[in-house]
Amino acid sequence: MEPEDCQWGLEASGGNWTGIVGTLQHEKADFSMDLTLTSERATAVNFCRVYIDENMVILSSKPRPPPEYLSLIKPFEGIVWLIVVVSVMVWGVMLWCLLRIRNRVSQGSSMDIASSLFYGWGLLLEDRPYEPPANLTGQVLVGIWLISCLILRAFYMSSLISRLVEGGKPPVINVIEEMVARGETDGWQWGTVTMTGVFNTFFSTSSNPDFLIAKEFMQQNTSRLTHPDCAQEAAAHNPGHPAGYKSPRNNE
């Protein structure tokens, strides 16, 4: 038999229980063989030997490796690349301005704006186009840029090697707090086939605000996020309504 409300067992008002626990509590059945043990339920019914320990696990799809054409730009975020481009442009303009001012004062050598910009890119890419400026002002500016390029290349190479070795995989989610955090920062979504029984009790009675956020999101989006084929397969192994109820009284 199944309980009238088709629930596993949630605590109600007045010390009463719903579902299977309530059926046993009010002696409408003798025993059940399909119910998860919790400390709250143990106050209303007696549990015998536990044959199956059911765990709740967070499942996520395996991360796919990024496209090969993105491998060279993945070591840095977009904002970092933007800063690099702007820095090269600013440095090139500064070099051009300083050499132009120096040329007017002491009639030294100068270069056009395009040459200054390409000179900065050449130093960054370890492809120096020609000899550095002869005056001290240009040499100091080039030396500062060389040190900056050395530091930038060191960070880039270490990040690139790390991504090639690890594949750029995001960290595995081990706790619900991480899942909720990824939802807020990266827009991750989650769902469950059913929100009943111990699963519902676990989230409803928790004082952790992240658990309540996870539950509310699942209740609002489960029907949309759960794939029909996956839901059908899961329901075949774990139906959403209580079953497996045994009562000798019903056989009399």
**Among residues 166, 201, 225, which one ends one of the domains?**
166
Tally of domains within the chain: 2
153 domain residue, yes or no? yes
Per-residue pLDDT of the chain (252 residues; tens, 9 = 90+): 677 777 777 778 888 888 888 888 888 888 877 777 777 888 888 888 777 666 677 777 776 666 777 777 888 888 999 999 999 999 888 888 888 887 777 665 667 888 888 888 888 887 766 666 777 777 888 888 889 989 998 998 888 887 777 665 666 777 888 888 888 887 777 777 666 667 777 787 788 888 888 888 887 766 555 555 544 444 444 333 333 333 333 333
| Statement to judge: residues 220 and 178 lie in one domain | yes
| Statement to judge: residues 129 and 247 lie in one domain | no
34 domain residue, yes or no? yes
H-run or E-run covering 17: none
The domain of 157 spans 68-166
55 domain residue, yes or no? yes
**Among residues 118, 151, 166, which one ends one of the domains?**
166
| Statement to judge: residues 147 and 222 lie in one domain | no
**Among residues 166, 188, 208, which one ends one of the domains?**
166
| Statement to judge: residues 161 and 232 lie in one domain | no
| Statement to judge: residues 219 and 246 lie in one domain | yes
Q: Which amino acid is at 206?
A: S
Alpha helices in 61-170, H assignment, sequence order = 78-106, 113-124, 136-166
Phi, psi (deg, nearest 5) at residue 160: -65, -45
Give me 164's structure tokens: 């090639």
- Compute the half-sphere exposure of residue 227: CA atoms within 13 Å on the CB side of its CA: 4
| Statement to judge: residues 159 and 200 lie in one domain | no
| Statement to judge: residues 180 and 159 lie in one domain | no
Q: What is the pTM of this model?
A: 0.46
| Statement to judge: residues 128 and 57 lie in one domain | no
159 domain residue, yes or no? yes
| Statement to judge: residues 107 and 131 lie in one domain | yes
Phi-psi region at 18: left, alpha or beta (left = phi > 0; alpha = psi -120 to 50): beta
